[in-house]
Structures are given as structure tokens and as C-alpha cells.
Structure 1
Amino acid sequence: MNQILSASPIAASATMPAAAVAALAEDMKQWMFGAGRSEPMRTKPKFDGQPERNYNLKGMKTGKFLQHEEQRFGINLGWTDDASAQTAAKVSRWFLARQAGDDMPLRYAEMVALANGGDPSFVRYEERTVGVNLGWSKTPVFEWKVLGGTPGTPVQTGQRVALFNVKANECLIYFDRNAGGDIGWPTSKRWEDQLEALAVKVGKEAAKKAVLAALGA
């Protein structure tokens, strides 16, 4: 749990009640692969072929689906306008790839690559000035885990899960942005908060330079 919410001052508390920990863990389960289906999830190495292994990805906070969508800032991901059956079928373009040739169902806490549609398919951690720290890759990047169930047991479609990125060391969540798609991490900041933090940093750097200059550095 500390790994998932390591940047949160609440999670860092050693005296945090078990009920509060459980509530936070449950709140991280903001996703559902294959809404409207009930079967073990299976992986594949690329988008083409095995269409039954493509899934929609429903956000439980919005009640809508995450899809490829052009954005002025950040990665080209956004939310559908509705959650109809037709929309669910249209945006069933998410898939997961694993490193080994194992054809067993996807397992909780297994390291996989997360992908959407054709080239470039794979979603990876990538630092950005604006928007969630995600980018695209032409090749699989194995840095995601589906969490929310007993590690090693099969992941079922139609179940609430958490999407954990090992590079970010956080779960992907819904986040109301004013620039870029509305997804983020528990530690994400809105644009004005980022600018404020940058202003503080710039102010500190200016003060440091002034002190060093006064000292003759």
C-alpha cells in the first residue's frame, strides 16, 4: 500500500487506521476492462489479430470510457461522451501485452505493457511539463500492473481494478485538469498549481543566486 501511495502524506503515516488504508485502496480501483463482459482477461503482443482480446476501459469516476482523443496538451487520451453499448464496442481498442509467451489468463500484479490501438500502441511513463506524465511507444514497455485482487490470480473483465505504473510508483486515476486529458496520479497538480510551484522554485533559485553573488561566488 505504501508503494502505491508513497507520495501521499496520508499514506506515509505509520498510524493510519486500517479502515482508512482500505478505503484509499478501494478508491484507487477506478478502472474496469471489458465493461459488459465477464471472462478471464487475456493478453496479446500487438493490436492486429485476436480482436476478442481487445477491451474497452471504463473509468468508474466518470462512468465513461477512456479512448484515443486528440489533445492540445499531453498524451492523446480523453473520455467518451457517453457509455452506450455502441460506444463501448467502438472504443474496445485497449489490450495488454506480456513479456513471456504464456497464454494463460492475465494475473493480478503481473508486469505487462498497456496499449491502445495501432502504431504507436503502447502507453509508457514520460515526464511532461503539462498533462499527465505519459507518452506513446512503438514497442512494448513493461511497466504496468493490474491491481485490486489477490496477486497471481486471474483478472476478470467487468471488475473494478487499479492500474499501477511502476515508473511513476503510483496508480493512474481520474484527475480534473484544465490542460490535457482528465487523467493523472494521486500526486498530480492542476496547471495553476504547477505554475505556483514553479514560481516558488524560481523564487528560491533567484534568492540562492543573490546570496551566492553577495558572497562573491
Structure 2
Amino acid sequence: MHTCNTCGKICSSKSVLIIHKRTHTGERPYSCSICDKRFICQSTLNRHNTIHKGEKLFTCTTCSKSFRRKYHLTIHIRTHTGEKPYSCKTSFRKKSYLTDHIRIHTGEKPFTCTTCSKSFRFKRNLTIHIRTHTGEKPFTCTTCSKSFRFKRNLTIHIRTHTGEKPYSCKTCKKKFTQKSSLNSHIHIHTGERLKKPFFWFQDEH
């Protein structure tokens, strides 16, 4: 057995230990010839290359849907079997979903903004938050070129071009481009005061 002198992890062979140590040093000696993305080992590069080739080598025997990664096929198969191997009263098909869920109980917020030190439970929320500092708006309308920080806001905006109104009032059949507008409308019929949403993302105009 070979032990990492940085974190104490035990590896089955010297070659596995060498690859593991790169997670500490940041060394990525294997480079994709197409997009220049770098990897810590040859097998990871080989898996990455299937993205460019469009290969989907792993196929579900139930519905014939194909995947580039065996891991993604394994997760997909659970939608057929109903298997949820990771549990915390609520069960999850994917271990990372359980990890995310547990943070709700522990209050852990491991992802911290280097600009303002605000912390988040999920990396995706940190990524979204960072855009408030950088001003980045990566989602652009192909019709009018207006850009947005959040994909959801782009989706709603596109409906101003297409005229799509997917949310309909069951009482009067009036239609709306977004669910929040429908919720605001419904209180006209019920007389109830609308509670402000817990999460609210807004693009600057």
C-alpha cells in the first residue's frame, strides 16, 4: 500500500498514488489537442475526448438512451428501477444530491466568495453570486442580443418574442409568461396576500 504524505489517503499502487498527488499539486500533464483542457491522467483525457467525438458508448438496455459516461448511465438506470441508495429520511439516486441535502441540516456553507466573503451551500449559487461582482451576463438572446445573468431570466425574456404564455389561471384562463405573474394574479380571485418568494434573482436593466 502507498500512502499520500499530504492527506493520508492510502492508494493501491505507486501509479495510483502519483495520480492522486496531482489533486494536491494541481499538476495536469495530459492536454486535450482540441480544446486545450488539461487532466491529471490519461484515462480522464480519454473520457473527455468522447465529448468532441460525440460518442455515447453506454446505452440503457431498458429505453436505449445513450450516455458518454458510465456513471451517468448508472444514475439514469435508477429512474427505471426506483433505486435510491443514498438516504437521509429522504432518499437520493445520486450521492452528490445527498451531500447537498445534508448541508440543509448542518448549515455548512463551504463555498465562499473571495470578493466579499459571503458563503454558500452550493457551488452553483456561488457561481451565480460572483456575477454580481463581475457583471458577467453569459446568457444572450439570439433575437435581440440582450444579455442576462441567469438562464431563467433569458427563458422568460424569449417569451416576449415568441408570445408564449405557459402559465394559465384555472379560474379565468388568463395566461402569463412567468409563474410569479400568475401567482400575483391568483390573489385577485382568492383575496389572499401574496408572500414574497424566498429566492429572487433579478437582472439589472
Q: TM-score range by the shorter chain?
A: under 0.3
Q: Which structure: greater helix fraction? A: 2
More strand by proportion, 1 or 2? 1
TM-score (norm 2): 0.20
Using CA pairs under 8 Å that are at least 6 residues apart, name the structure with larger relative contact order, 1 or 2.
Answer: 1
